[in-house]
Amino acid sequence: MKIKNILISQNAPADIEKSPYGDLKKKYSINIDFYKFFKIQNVSAIDFRKTKVNILEHQAIIFYSKNTIDNFFDLCKEMRLVMPETMKYFCSTEAVAVYLQKYIQFRKRKIFFSKDSSISNFHEILLKNKELQMLVPCGQSGANPELLAFLQEHEIRYHEAIVFETLSANLKENIDISKYDMIVLYSPNGVHSLKENYPNFEQGDITFAALGHSVVSALEEQGLTAQVTAPTDEYASITDAIDAYLKDNATRRR
CATH number of residue 24's parent domain: 3.40.50.10090
Same domain, 68 and 159: yes
Same domain, 128 and 187: no
Nearest to 187 by CA among 151, 238, 232: 238
In the chain, count of helices (H) and strands (E)? 9, 11
Same domain, 144 and 59: yes
Mean pLDDT, to the nearest integer, of 98-106?
Answer: 89
Sorted by sequence, the CB contacts under 8 Å of residue 32 that are 6+ apart come out as: 5, 6, 7, 8, 16, 21, 24, 25
Cα atoms in the Cβ-side hemisphere of radius 13 Å centred on 146: 15
pLDDT band at 120 (very low <50, low <70, confident <90, very high): confident
pLDDT band at 108 (very low <50, low <70, confident <90, very high): low
pLDDT band at 105 (very low <50, low <70, confident <90, very high): confident
Number of domains in the chain: 2
Q: What is the pTM of this model?
A: 0.69
Same domain, 28 and 58: no
Domain ends where: 113, 148, 166? Answer: 166
Q: What is the pLDDT of residues 188-234, one digit of tens each?
A: 889 999 999 999 999 999 999 999 888 999 999 999 999 999 999 89
Cβ atoms within 10 Å of 68's Cβ, excluding its own:
22
Residue 218 has a pLDDT of: 94
Mean pLDDT, to the nearest integer, of 71-88?
Answer: 95
Measured between its terminal Cα atoms, the distance across the chain in Å is 19
Specify the range with the lowest mean pLDDT, choosing from 63-77, 114-128, 177-191: 114-128
Domain ends where: 137, 166, 195? Answer: 166
178 has a pLDDT exceeding 70: yes
Structural domain harbouring 154: 41-166
Mean pLDDT rounded to a whole number for the chain? 93
